[in-house]
């Protein structure tokens, strides 16, 4: 929820003190709203985020005995939690029910020819058809790391890529050469 529209660096600036200070859902509701806003200020959009956090904490207490639910359909009912976040949380709780599609997963899936879609929900559907279910939780991590280390958005290192012989977007292939040097 904190990571919307910001960087991991900014999120990591606030979480150590935040998690130390607020130990459970009750603590987020006990603090004045302005105090919570101040505590998450560095992540940007702090007003909406503080409101969503408090809404989620209230729902957790009122409907889920103060525990984070494990089912996707319950997670998406929490304020500020959409399908991507719900998929992340379910996977981290060991109960993946879908595949996380963020900007990196989208780019890599398209490059590797696993989907032709642009919409995250449709991309997820395509991925669910080709990725074995036991791998749903770790698959996005593999793509994200591959994107960071090898398949950079602007300069993919195709010559070093273990998937090069399978990848329809390889820049080493004749088809790519023809496309960039017609
Ligand atoms: S071959 Fe190139 S474009 Fe394809 S996945 Fe590897 S680095 Fe990315």
Residues with active-site annotation: 84, 102
CB 6 within 8 A of CB 44: yes
- pLDDT, residue 65, reads 96
pTM of the model: 0.82
- pLDDT, residue 175, reads 53
Nearest protein Cα to ligand 1, atom 2: 158
Verify whether ligand 1 is closer than 6 Å to residue 111 (CB atom). Answer: yes
CA 181 to centroid of ligand 1, rounded, Å: 19
- pLDDT, residue 170, reads 94
CA 16 to centroid of ligand 1, rounded, Å: 36
CB 14 within 8 A of CB 40: yes
45-59 CB burial, b ≥16 within 10 A, e <16: ebeebbebbbbbbeb
CB 79 within 8 A of CB 52: yes
pLDDT tens digit at each of 182 positions of the chain: 999 899 989 999 999 999 999 999 999 999 999 999 999 999 999 999 999 999 999 999 999 999 999 999 999 999 989 999 999 999 999 999 999 999 899 999 999 999 999 999 999 999 999 999 999 999 999 999 999 999 999 999 999 999 999 999 999 865 555 555 54
Verify whether ligand 1 is closer than 6 Å to residue 110 (CB atom). Answer: no
CA 96 to centroid of ligand 1, rounded, Å: 27
Pocket test for ligand 1, best of 163, 165, 177, 180 (most atoms within 8 A of CB): 163
């Amino acid at each position: 929820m904190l990571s919307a529209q910001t960087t991991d660096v900014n999120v990591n600036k606030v979480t150590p003190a935040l998690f130390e200070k607020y130990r459970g859902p009750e603590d987020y509701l006990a603090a004045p709203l302005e105090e919570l806003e101040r505590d998450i200020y560095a992540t940007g959009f702090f007003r909406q985020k503080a409101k969503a956090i408090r809404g989620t904490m209230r729902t957790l207490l009122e409907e889920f005995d103060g525990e984070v639910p494990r089912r996707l359909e319950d997670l998406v009912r929490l304020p500020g939690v959409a399908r991507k976040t719900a998929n992340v949380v379910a996977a981290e709780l060991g109960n993946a029910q879908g595949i996380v599609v963020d900007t990196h997963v989208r780019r890599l899936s398209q490059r590797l020819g696993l989907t032709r879609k642009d919409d995250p929900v449709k991309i997820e559907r395509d991925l669910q058809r080709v990725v074995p279910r036991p791998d749903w939780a770790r698959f996005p991590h593999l793509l994200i790391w591959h994107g960071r280390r090898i398949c950079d958005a602007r300069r993919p290192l195709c010559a070093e890529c273990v998937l090069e012989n399978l990848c329809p977007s390889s820049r080493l292939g004749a088809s790519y050469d023809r496309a960039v040097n017609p």
